[in-house]
Amino acid sequence: MSEKKEPSVWEGFKAFLMRGNVIDLAVAVVIGAAFTNIVNSVVKGVINPLVGAFGTQSLDSYSSCLKGPCTGTGDSATGVRILWGSVLGATLTFLITAAVVYFLMVLPMSKYLARQEARRKAKEGAEEVIEVSELEVLKEIRDALVAQRGSGHDRP
């Protein structure tokens, strides 16, 4: 009897790592981490000063006191403070990141894939037309041979 050898854990792990989607995911995580630094710089260097034109330059300093008196900062703070400025900053960072990813990566890639699909369909359509025309020629040859045989049998 032949026994099937099950792959070892190491072989399974190597196969898992060599799949294309795992490599793509790793690349995406690395690029995403680098991209986060760019977005954070844009928020701190551009967005925060624009907001600062109407108030303070640091969004983190915007807060509201839920239960007073709210005095101090950090561990020495008293009262219940809601730091809505940091939420606003994180939301702006998310929106900027999402917009850049969509407009610079997702939209161009979807347009590229749509063009590739249209080319593929056009190519398949052309091949189908060629196949249909070949089929028509073969039918005509068959009909001509049948007609030839039919006329040949009629002769004595």
Determine the pLDDT at residue 149: 86
- Give 122-148 pLDDT, tens digit per residue: 888 777 677 677 778 888 889 999 998
The confidence score (pLDDT) of residue 2 equals 53
Q: Which of 53, 97, 107, 62 is nearest to 82 (CA)?
A: 62
In the prediction, which pLDDT does 152 show? 61
Where in the chain are the domains?
Answer: 9-69+79-124
Phi-psi region of 79 (alpha: psi -120 to 50; beta: other; left: phi over 0): left
pLDDT at 51: 72
Query: Can you point out the beta strands (E) in 6-144?
Result: 64-71, 78-82
φ, ψ dihedrals at 22, nearest 5°? -70, -45
CATH top-level class of 9-69+79-124: mainly alpha
What are the b/e assignments for 31-58, b being 16+ CB within 10 Å? eeeebeeebeebbeeebbeebeeeeeee
> What pLDDT was estimated at residue 57?
64
- Residues of the chain with confidence (pLDDT) below 70: 1-4, 20, 56-58, 72-77, 128, 131, 152-156
- Residue 121: what pLDDT? 85
Q: What per-residue confidence (pLDDT) applies to 20?
A: 66
